[in-house]
Structure 1
Amino acid sequence: MGSFYFLQIFTVVFLLSIATTLFNKRILGLPAAIGVPIVSAIFVFLLQWTVSLFGNNNYIQINIVEIEAAVRSIDFYDFLINGVICFILTSSALKFRLSDLRTYFKPIAILASIALILCAFFFGAALYGYQILVGTPVSFLILLLLGSALGATDPIGIKGVLSSVKAPRHLMIKLEGESLFNDAVCIALFMSILAIVKGGDFTIEGFFADLAYEIVVAIIIGVAFGLFVLRLLKGKHEMESLILSTAFLATGSYLVALYAHASGPIACVVGGLIVGNRWQDILDEQEVNEVNHFWHTVEGIINSFLFTLIGMELFIIDFNTDLLFGGIVAFIILHLSRFAGNFLAFVPFRSVRRKSYHGSLAILSWGGVRGGISLALILAVANIPQLSEYSSILIGYTFTCVLLSGVVCGLGLPGVMNAYYHNPNEPKTGFAGWYQRMCHKMNYSGMKYVVTEDNNGQEVISIYNPECLVDESKLEEAEEENPELAEEIQAELDSKVKQLENSENF
């Protein structure tokens, strides 16, 4: 009859996914990227508590060790990094406009490379100091490895948060663009540090040479698959063949890139961009919408599956007070490191920073949601001989950071946006009102934007309160005593407003 092992695993995970998704949707009402892992973790806590009370009586026999063994048997890295991530990335790339990438290429590239490396270094250095302070020192290289895994924003988590936040279009493009392209740098940095931890050689030249090889070869593979799939889409076809062609684009480009030791994520993103920006010339609008709807549904299923698995990983973490507190400290350090990394990364690029919208970097730094990629990388290496001694710290800190990034960064993002973009419906009372007032303190100038639409439905960003850019008392005094000076002040104000509202800002 064969083994029913995989069928049993899928049945249990599907059942848990349904339970967590429905509970979150009907009770909590949180974005899936935030609510489902929380509900899943709560279910695990309840199950462990129930087993401790009733698991060994004459009527109910639940072996928690067997459950933990089953969870450990799930290869999270294989499932995500060598599995479903190609579908998530391709689905996002099919809907990402090349025109947007050209417009915001510089900030996206800086955030996905320099800022990520700086964030990993700052995190490793600060957490190294904390571990010495509490009397449990950990090698700097190991903490740098942890920082490189946690440095990447998660495309799955980002999409889940953005779907629930009404953000200005330029911010949504940059957050999603960063999450699409930083995987190559994250994985390359992680593998390079891992090689050093294992005793291998490392050079800066070698790192950048490997990174350049991974990116260039991945782009070539992605372009080749994209053009091939476009040719497949020409002529007569059924909806099934359209869906299968895009599925082949995702899996084929990713697999060939892995065989070529190139970046699978970059390959399928490039292929998705090529197909998604040219298939309107081949297919009619209804066909494009139906394929996009299919992939949107697949994304939702994978997300529920993945976030449930993230919560289930709690089974293999031996949580204690020190580990939980350390995880919270690690999350705070990670958050501060992302802010520092993002701001310092733009220092050499003054022309880019000078053209930025007020508050862009603060919002982008806050919106760095972590997720399955970070956890998959750490779970894949936590038990190798060089790291097994610190496996509890690595897994525990990563799980805590992933969970808190969804709760704090995801749920807190609207308040940060309200600090820079006027929202007449922002909360005024209770904890939400207090949090909103704290967020307003981030905007030391007090200047806010307002987002509207023109007659053609295009987004227009204008300054809501331009009067805060000038000292009104001085302007009034100048108008009374020196009209020429008043005209100069008004002209400077008009020029500053024009620069701040420039549609070419990032």
Structure 2
Amino acid sequence: MDTFTTIAILVTISSFISYINHRYVKLPGTIGIMVIAIVLSILILVSGKTFPEASGFFKELTSSVDFTRTLLDVMLAFLLFASALHFDVEKLKAQKVPVLILSTVGVIGSTTIFGFLFYWTLPLFGIDVPLLYCMLFGALISPTDPVAVLSVLKKSRIPSSLETIIGGESLFNDGVGILLFVTLRELTESSSDAFTWSHTLILFVQEVVGGLALGIGSALLCMFLIKKITELQTVLMMTISMVMGISVLGGLLHVSIPLAAVAAGLMLSNVQLGQTADARSLKEILDKIWGLIDDLLNTILFVMIGLQIALIHFYSAYFVISLLAILFVLIARAISITAPAILLSRRLALPYNRIAIVIWAGLRGGISVALALSLPPSEFKPMIVSVSYIIVVFSVIVQGLTLNKVVNKLVD
């Protein structure tokens, strides 16, 4: 199946599922879309013997899309840029301390806690997985997914300051999570003698600092150019080409594409295109167009997540392990957030009822599935992929659907 045909079919399926959700199911956008996509996938797979052609076509379509590369190398930069473009920078500055701590200490702590809990529990099922792989699993499942989080928060009645903390955390913790994942994955592919702290520090500087530098540099160049024009088509094309350039250069330079996209989006979020009415109108239209791009890519992404069920192998033992893994994810996030909140209570200023909201709002999404699928072949990969997928489905559907109820219950 050629690329254009794959894209055309995927967009058609996405539009059909979106219509069904808005016309009949009426679940919140991304949640309903993923639910329908999963149900559709299961129905097609179950009816495989009755309609083998449909089942074969469906599997061919899903396998023709490299989910990991499509999300991490192509879609993620656009999604993060669009989300950051609509972020209030002044509110983010006011909440910079909790956002920084949650996106660093929170991710590292959650990775460690989950890794040990998973490592200690698996022998009960007769499965022996090295601690390094358990930590690797923790690194890919600990970061909250900005696409999932921000899409749910859009229609939530969560307090503004808390929304800024949760949204800001989800935008920035990918850099730390992906850095941990890449470092641990290198350790699984090489001997322990190859690991040095200097190498890890160089990798950190290259990924994080390099990503921020790429994003800031790209945004400065784009801002300099678009301030001199007032034509919407040209401004839009320049911002799109900037995001594409970040994706390409980020891959070539081996720096963090997510951090670069977020940095560029935040810098352009408050850019002034001029003082005239036409210039202000241009900025409003540009924001609306990027909001539409965000919604369209979100729809396609969650359809792709739902369709991945056709390629993932599930075994009965995995479901029991998945239930425990879901519990471990929540425990790890609770401890990694509550501990800093208690130790730094004056700086974080997070009351206990709001800590519970932050814990429950930590949704996982496509990034976790993509990272799991990117693991090198091993005897542990099928289990990690399957359990990751189930955690993501639980996170988006259960936590996403109940988030408003938790907010209403805990916010005065």
What TM-score, normalized by structure 2, do the two folds share?
0.93
- The structural deviation recorded for 1:70 is 4.0
Q: 218-227 or 114-123: which moved more?
A: 218-227
Which residue of the partner structure matches residue 213 of structure 1? 206
SS of equivalent residue, structure 1 residue 164: coil
Structure 1 residues 30 and 356: CA distance shift in structure 2, 3 A: same
Q: 399-408 or 197-206: which moved more?
A: 197-206
Q: Contact 1:257 / 1:263 at 8 angstroms: preserved in 2?
A: yes
* Equivalent residue runs for 1:115-264 within 5 Å: 115-200=106-191, 201-264=194-257
1:311 and 2:296 equivalent?
no
1:368 and 2:362 equivalent?
yes
Q: Contact 2:74 / 2:247 at 8 angstroms: preserved in 1?
A: no
SS of equivalent residue, structure 2 residue 53: coil
Question: How far, CA to CA, are the matches of 2:322 and 2:352 in structure 1?
Answer: 32
1:408 to 390, 398, 407: 398
1:287 and 2:282 equivalent?
yes
Which residue of the partner structure matches residue 7 of structure 2? 10
2:410 to 414, 420, 427: 420
* Equivalent residue runs for 1:34-53 within 5 Å: 34-52=31-49
Query: Which letter does structure 2 place at the counterpart of 1:202?
Result: F
| CA-to-aligned-CA distance 1:367-416 (integer Å, 9 cap, x gap) | 011111111111122xx24x2x1232111101101000012211121222
- The structural deviation recorded for 1:338 is 0.8
| CA-to-aligned-CA distance 1:214-252 (integer Å, 9 cap, x gap) | 222222222221111111112333211111121122222
SS of equivalent residue, structure 2 residue 195: coil
Question: How far, CA to CA, are the matches of 2:392 and 2:321 in structure 1?
Answer: 14
SS of equivalent residue, structure 2 residue 380: helix
Is there any run of 5+ residues in structure 2 with no aligned partner, and where?
Answer: none
1:112 and 2:106 equivalent?
no
Which residue of the partner structure matches residue 387 of structure 2? 397
Q: Compare CA radii of gyration and give the structure with the larger one.
A: 1
- The structural deviation recorded for 1:69 is 4.5
Which residue of the partner structure matches residue 301 of structure 1? 296
Higher RCO (CA < 8 A, seq sep 6+): 2
Question: How far, CA to CA, are the matches of 1:150 and 1:258 in structure 2?
Answer: 22
Q: Contact 1:222 / 1:271 at 8 angstroms: preserved in 2?
A: yes
Query: Which letter does structure 2 place at the counterpart of 1:390?
Result: F
Aligned length: 408
Query: Which letter does structure 2 place at the counterpart of 1:278?
Result: V
- The structural deviation recorded for 1:259 is 2.2
- The structural deviation recorded for 1:309 is 0.8
1:75 to 66, 74, 98: 66
Is there any run of 5+ residues in structure 1 with no aligned partner, and where?
Answer: 56-60, 422-448, 450-506
Question: How far, CA to CA, are the matches of 1:39 and 1:103 in structure 2?
Answer: 39
Q: 233-242 or 161-170: which moved more?
A: 233-242
What TM-score, normalized by structure 1, do the two folds share?
0.77
Which residue of the partner structure matches residue 427 of structure 1? none
Q: 71-80 or 212-221: which moved more?
A: 212-221
Which residue of the partner structure matches residue 329 of structure 2? 334
Instruction: Kindly report the root-mean-square deviation, in angstroms, between the aligned alpha carbons of the 2 structures.
Output: 1.9
Question: How far, CA to CA, are the matches of 1:254 and 1:103 in structure 2?
Answer: 30
Question: How far, CA to CA, are the matches of 2:409 and 2:25 in structure 1?
Answer: 25
Query: Which letter does structure 2 place at the counterpart of 1:267?
Result: A
Query: Which letter does structure 1 place at the counterpart of 2:367?
Result: I
Whose helix fraction is larger, Structure 1's or Structure 2's? 2
Structure 1 residues 336 and 308: CA distance shift in structure 2, 3 A: same
Question: How far, CA to CA, are the matches of 2:34 and 2:117 in structure 1?
Answer: 27
Q: Contact 2:341 / 2:350 at 8 angstroms: preserved in 1?
A: no
Query: Which letter does structure 1 place at the counterpart of 2:172?
Result: F
Structure 1 residues 351 and 129: CA distance shift in structure 2, 3 A: same
